[in-house]
A and B are shown apart, each in its own frame.
Chain A
Amino acid sequence: MGCFHSKICRFSTPGYEDPTLLAAETAFTVSEVEALYELFKKISSSIIDDGLIHKEEFQLAIFKNQNRRDLFADRIFDLFDFKRNGVIGFGEFVRSLSVFHPNAPVADKIAFAFRLYDLRQTGYIEREELKEMVLALLNESDLILSDDIVEMIVDKTFDEADKKSDGKIDEEEWKEFVLMKPSLLKNMTLPYLKDITLAFPSFVMNSEVEDSE
């Protein structure tokens, strides 16, 4: 039996949250949050139609292949899943994507990227973690680099970023480092998010608000 009213359907969806509240907390307008719901519905129904994004659905949306694994896609999924229940609800999706909005504060982007690289969640990016990430990516690519070259790249990075020379990069060092090298935050901004209402015009049909701005 289908839903007769889209609003009732949405509010009975697990993890759904009021777009007005989400817009107030994030870099998005109400219209943009509603357009994001169209994207969310598509991703969250791609394998299991339960109104939640499972890891396989997230991977399918990123790689167009649910079986492909990637260290960073896993890490990003875990960071989006801030309730730590193994799935991403609509509120988590919007709040997390907000960091990637062109208008989001740079400090939020810097903090998110730090948490992404802090694989073991120790509060530091450690030398071994950084090498592990480089090796994981090399494994997934056709690029071959000798261990000496990898060591050299990691050493040079630590020479520049680890100002305290204690073998780990803390959040303050990370902030100073990326402010010197803003290109490292390139992946933290998604220009698409500014045009999300154009990408999902169907949100207008399902809008809950008369005037969304």
Chain B
Amino acid sequence: PFYNAFEFISSMSSGFDLSSLFEGK
């Protein structure tokens, strides 16, 4: 469960996870 909206967003949004820019480089 998420009790904090920002925690929900940062955990759920793959668009906010730029580590994927470096995957499969």
Q: What is the interface of chain A, defined by CB distance below 8 A to chain B?
A: 39, 42-43, 61-64, 70-76, 97, 100, 116-117, 130-131, 133-134, 137, 141, 143, 153-154, 156-157, 160, 181, 183-184, 186-187, 190, 192, 196, 199-200
Asked whether, in the complex, the Cβ of A156 is within 8 Å of the Cβ of B4, the reply is yes
Q: Interface size class for chain B?
A: 20 to 34
Partner of A184, one of B3, B7, B12, B20: B7
In the complex, how many residue pairs between chain A and chain B have their CB atoms under 8 Å apart? 89
Partner of A73, one of B4, B5, B15: B15
CA A137 to CA B15, docked complex, whole Å: 10
Chain B residue at smallest Cβ distance from A116? B16
Asked whether, in the complex, the Cβ of B13 is within 8 Å of the Cβ of A39, the reply is no
Q: What is the interface of chain B, defined by CB distance below 8 A to chain A?
A: 2-10, 12-22, 24-25
Interface of B is mostly: helix
Q: Which 7 A-B pairs have the closest CB atoms?
A: A73-B15, A70-B15, A72-B15, A72-B16, A157-B5, A192-B22, A72-B13
Contact A190-B8, Cβ < 8 Å, known A72-B16, A156-B3? no
Asked whether, in the complex, the Cβ of A39 is within 8 Å of the Cβ of B9, the reply is no
CA A187 to CA B19, docked complex, whole Å: 9
Chain B nearest CB: distance from A67 CB in Å? 14
Chain B nearest CB: distance from A24 CB in Å? 23
Partner of A200, one of B9, B12, B14, B25: B25
CA A76 to CA B18, docked complex, whole Å: 9
Using Cβ atoms and an 8 Å threshold, which residues of chain A touch B24? Answer: 64
Asked whether, in the complex, the Cβ of A62 is within 8 Å of the Cβ of B5, the reply is no
CA A134 to CA B2, docked complex, whole Å: 11
Asked whether, in the complex, the Cβ of A187 is within 8 Å of the Cβ of B22, the reply is no
Q: Return 27 A-B CB contacts under 8 Å, by A number.
A: A39-B21, A42-B25, A61-B21, A63-B14, A72-B9, A72-B13, A72-B15, A72-B16, A76-B16, A97-B18, A116-B16, A133-B5, A134-B8, A134-B9, A143-B12, A153-B4, A153-B8, A160-B4, A181-B4, A181-B7, A183-B10, A184-B4, A184-B7, A190-B19, A192-B19, A196-B22, A199-B25
